[in-house]
Structure 1
Amino acid sequence: MINQSELYNKIQDQFISIWENCPEHFPATGKRFSYLEKRIWESKFDRFIKFVQNEASFEQPNKLEILRKTQIFFKEALSYSSDQLELIFSDEMLDATKDFIHKAWLFDPNLGNTEIFQALRNVWIMLGLQSFFGKEIKITPSLLAYSLLYPYTDNLIDDASINKEEKINFCQRFALRLEGESVKSESGTEQQIYDLVEMIESEFDRENYPEVYHSLLAIHDAQTQSLALVSDKPMLSEEETFKICINKGASSVIADGYLVLGNLDEKQLHFLYEYGAFLQILDDLQDARQDYLDGVMTCFSRKLPYGNLDKLICKTYFLGKTFQQSVSNLYPDEISFQGLIKKSFALLFLVSIFENQEDFSDDFILKIEKHAPFRFSFLHKRKTDLETFRDLMLQKIDEYRLSRCNA
C-alpha cells in the first residue's frame, strides 16, 4: 500500500513547479486554418445543424439517426478517429448514461435537469476511467452516489441564503460522516448526502478499503478550503490560490479512481492527479468572468480587474502540452486515449477563449482565431443554434422521468 499523503504532496509540488515554469508567450507552433479550410468546416457544421434542427421539429425525432450523424460530424468535421469515437459513443457508454439518469430519478424524483447535467460530467469521467483501466462499463452504487454527492454538497455550499457559519458547521458534520461516524442531519438535503455515503459503504467496506474514504475526505477538505476563495478581493497569495484550486480538481478525480478500482498504484495516482488538476484549471479559465462576478477569486478571476488573461492562458496551453506528454510516458500503449485527451482539451481551450473574448486582448484573439477551424464571427452567429442539442437532451431526460413514473 502506497503512502498516499506523501506521494500526493510530491506530485502536487511537481505540478506546481511545472505551472510556475510554463512560458507566458503565445505558442509558436500549431496548425493554422486558412480561410478556405474554415469555410469548408463551417459548411459541414451548417449541414449538420440543419439536419438536427429538422429532426427536432418532429414530434418524435429519430434519435438514432441524430446519433449517427453526430458521429459522422465528429469524424469528418472535427477529425476524431474511429477509435476515439468508440470511446465516446460506445453502446456501453450510452447505456450506462441512460441507467444513471434512471437511477438518479429513483433516488430523488425532485432532481432538476441542471443537477443531472452537473452529475453527468463526473459520470462520464468515471465511465471513461472504467474503460481506460479495463473495467466493465456500468453504473455501480458508488459511481451513482459519488456523482450525485457533489451536486448536493456544491449547491449547499454555494447557496447564498446559507451563511458561512452554517456552511462550516455542515462541513464539519459531513467530515465526521465520511470518517464513519453516526451524524444527525440538519435538513432533508443533508440526510440525502448521508444516504449517498451509505450507498458507497454498501460497495466498499471501510476496513478493506480505507483509502477510498481517505480520498473522499480529501475532496471534502479541498471543498472546505475552497471557501477561502470567496472574497470581494484576493486575500490569498497566487500560489495559495493555485494550490487550493488544483487540489479540488485533483482530489475529485483521484476519488473517482478509488471508487472505480478500490486501490491505486503510484502510476495511477500520478495520472489521476494531473488529469483532475488540469480539468479544474480549464474549468476556472472558462468560468473566470462568472467567478469574478460571484466573488470567487481563482487564479484566473482574480486577475480580471488588473488586465487580460493572455499570459495565463498561454501558461495553461503549455501546461496542457506537458500533461499530454506525461500521459504518453505513463501509458504509452493507450494511443486512442492520448489522442482523445489532446483533441478534447484543444476544443475546450478554444471554446473557453471564444466564450470569454472580453477577457483577452484583441491581438491575442486575432492570433488564436488563426488556429481555430471556425471563424469566431461564424460561431457567434450559430451559437443559439446549438441550443437544439440541449433541448433534445432535456427531452430525453424527461422521457426517462416518464418511463420511471410508469414503471
Structure 2
Amino acid sequence: MINHSVLYHKIQKQFITTWANCPEYLPLDKKRFSYLEKRIWEAKFDRFIQFVQTESNLEQPNKAEILRQSKLFFEEALSYTSDQTELIFSDEMITATKDFIKKAWQFDPELANDEIFQALRNVWIMLGLQSFFGKEIAITPSLLAYSLLYPYTDNLIDNASIGKEEKINFCTRFALRLAGKPIESKSRSESRIYDLVAMIESEFDREIYPEVYHSLLAIHDAQTKSIALLSSKALLSEAETFEICIEKGATSVIADGYLVMGNLDETQFHFLYEYGAYLQILDDLQDARQDYLDGIRTCFSRKLPYRNLDKLLCKTYFMGKAFHQNLKDLYPNEISFQGLIQKSFGLLFLVSIFENQEDFSSDFILKMEKYAPFRFSYLHKRKEDLEPFRDLMLQKMKEYKDSIVKLESI
C-alpha cells in the first residue's frame, strides 16, 4: 500500500513548480489554421447543425442516425480518431449514462436536470477511468454515490446565501460521517448526503479499503479549505490560492480512482493527481468571470479587477503540454487515451477563450483565433444554433424520467 500523504505532497510540489515555470507568452510551435481551412471546418459544422436542427423538429428523432452523424462529425470535423469516438460513443458508455440518470432519479426524484448534468461530468470521468484501467464500464453503487455527492455538497458550499459559519458546521459534521461516525443530519439535503456515504460503504468495507475513505476525507478537506476563496477581495496569497484550487481538483479525481479500483499504485495515483489538478485549472479559467461575480477568488478570477488573463492563459496552455508529456511517460502504450485527453483539453481551452473574450486583450484574442479551427465570428453567429443540442437532450431526459415514473407506478 502506498503512503498516500507522502506521495501526494511530492507530486503536489512538482506540479506547483511546473506551473511556476510555465511561460507567459503565446506558443510559437502550435498549428495555425488558414482562412480556407477554417471555412472547410465551418462547412462541416454547418451540415451537422442543420441535421440536428432537422431531427430535433421531428416528433420521433432518429436516435441511431443522430449517434452515427455525431461520431462522423467528431472524426471528420474535429479530427478525433475512430478509436477515440468508439470510447466516447460506445454502447457501454451510452447504456451506463442512461443507467446513471435512472438510478439518480430513483434516489432523489427532485433532482433537477442541471444537477444531473453537473453529476454527469464526474460520471463520464469515472466511466473513462473504468475503461482505461480495464474495468467493466458500469454504474456501481460508489460511482452513483460519489457523482451525486458533489451536486449536493458543491452547491451548499458555493451558495453565497448560506453563511460561512453554517457551511463550516456542516463540513465538520460531514467529515465525521466520512470517518464512519454516526451523525444526525440537520436538513433533507444533508440526510441525502449521508445516504450516499452509506451507499459507498455498501461496496467498500472500511477495514479492507481504508484508502477509499482517506481519499473521501481528502476531497472533503479540500472542499472545506475552498471556503477561504469566498471573499469580496483576495485575502490569500497567489500561492495559497493556487494550492487550494488544484487540491480540490486533484483530490476529487484521486477519489474517483479509488472508487473505481479500491486501491491505487504509484503510477495511477500520479496520473490521477495531475489529471484532476489540470481539470480544475481549466474549470477556473472558464468560470473566472462568474466566479468573480459570485465572490469566489480563484487564481484567475482574482486578477479580473486589475488586469486581463492573457499571461495566465499562456501558463495554462504550457501546463497542459507538461501534463500530456507526463501522461505519455507514465503510460507510453496508451496512445488512443493520450490523444483523447489532449484533444478534449484542447477544445476546453479554446472554448474558455471564445466564451470569455472580455477577459483577454483584443490583440491576444486576434492572435489566439489563428490557432482555432473556426473563426470566432462564425462561432458567435452559430452560438444560438447550438440550442437544439441542449433542447434535444433535455427533451430526452424528460421522456426518460417520465417512462421511469410510469413503469414504477405499474
Q: TM-score range by the shorter chain?
A: over 0.9
Q: Which residue of 2 aligns with 1:331?
A: 331
Deviations 1:47-99 (A, max 9, x none): 11001000100111111111111110001001100011111111100000000
Q: Which residue of 2 aligns with 1:171?
A: 171
SS at match of 2:59: coil
SS at match of 2:305: helix
Give matches, 1:218-297, under 5 Å: 218-297=218-297
Q: Which residue of 1 aligns with 2:399?
A: 399
In 2: Cα distance, 1:230 partner to 1:268 partner: 32
Q: Which residue of 1 aligns with 2:120?
A: 120
1:103 counterpart letter in structure 2: K
In 1: Cα distance, 2:350 partner to 2:162 partner: 36
Deviations 1:316-336 (A, max 9, x none): 000000000000000000000
Unaligned 5+ segments in structure 2 are: none
In 2: Cα distance, 1:310 partner to 1:276 partner: 23
1:31 counterpart letter in structure 2: K
SS at match of 1:332: coil
2:172 counterpart letter in structure 1: Q
1:13 counterpart letter in structure 2: K
Contact map agreement 2:242 2:298 (CA 8 A) in 1: yes
1:280 counterpart letter in structure 2: Q
Q: Which residue of 2 aligns with 1:54?
A: 54
Deviations 1:94-145 (A, max 9, x none): 0000000000010000000010000000000000000000000000000000
Deviations 1:127-181 (A, max 9, x none): 0000000000000000000000000011112223321111110000000000000
Kindly report the root-mean-square deviation, in angstroms, between the aligned alpha carbons of the 2 structures: 0.6
2:142 counterpart letter in structure 1: S
In 1: Cα distance, 2:330 partner to 2:160 partner: 42
Q: Which residue of 2 aligns with 1:12?
A: 12
2:279 counterpart letter in structure 1: L
Q: Which residue of 2 aligns with 1:349?
A: 349
1:105 counterpart letter in structure 2: W
1:389 counterpart letter in structure 2: F
Q: Which residue of 1 aligns with 2:300?
A: 300
SS at match of 1:306: coil
1:108 and 2:108 correspond: yes
Identity of aligned residues (%): 78
Decide which moves more: 6-15 or 158-167: 158-167
SS at match of 1:305: coil
In 1: Cα distance, 2:138 partner to 2:378 partner: 39
In 2: Cα distance, 1:161 partner to 1:225 partner: 18
1:131 and 2:131 correspond: yes
Cα offset for 1:33? 0.8
TM-score by length of 2: 0.99
Give matches, 1:161-200, under 5 Å: 161-200=161-200
1:237 counterpart letter in structure 2: S
Deviations 1:273-315 (A, max 9, x none): 0000000000000000000111110000001111110000000
In 1: Cα distance, 2:6 partner to 2:393 partner: 43
Q: Which residue of 2 aligns with 1:31?
A: 31
Deviations 1:215-239 (A, max 9, x none): 0000000000000001111000000
Q: For this pair of structures, how many residues does the alignment match?
A: 407
1:202 counterpart letter in structure 2: S
Q: Which residue of 2 aligns with 1:366?
A: 366
1:146 and 2:166 correspond: no
1:287 counterpart letter in structure 2: D
In 1: Cα distance, 2:150 partner to 2:359 partner: 29
In 1: Cα distance, 2:352 partner to 2:359 partner: 10
In 2: Cα distance, 1:33 partner to 1:158 partner: 39
2:23 counterpart letter in structure 1: P
Q: Which residue of 2 aligns with 1:89?
A: 89
In 2: Cα distance, 1:160 partner to 1:251 partner: 24
In 2: Cα distance, 1:161 partner to 1:35 partner: 48
Contact map agreement 2:300 2:312 (CA 8 A) in 1: yes
In 2: Cα distance, 1:212 partner to 1:165 partner: 28
SS at match of 2:49: helix
In 2: Cα distance, 1:173 partner to 1:56 partner: 46
Q: Which residue of 2 aligns with 1:377?
A: 377
In 2: Cα distance, 1:337 partner to 1:28 partner: 26
1:69 counterpart letter in structure 2: Q
In 1: Cα distance, 2:122 partner to 2:223 partner: 16
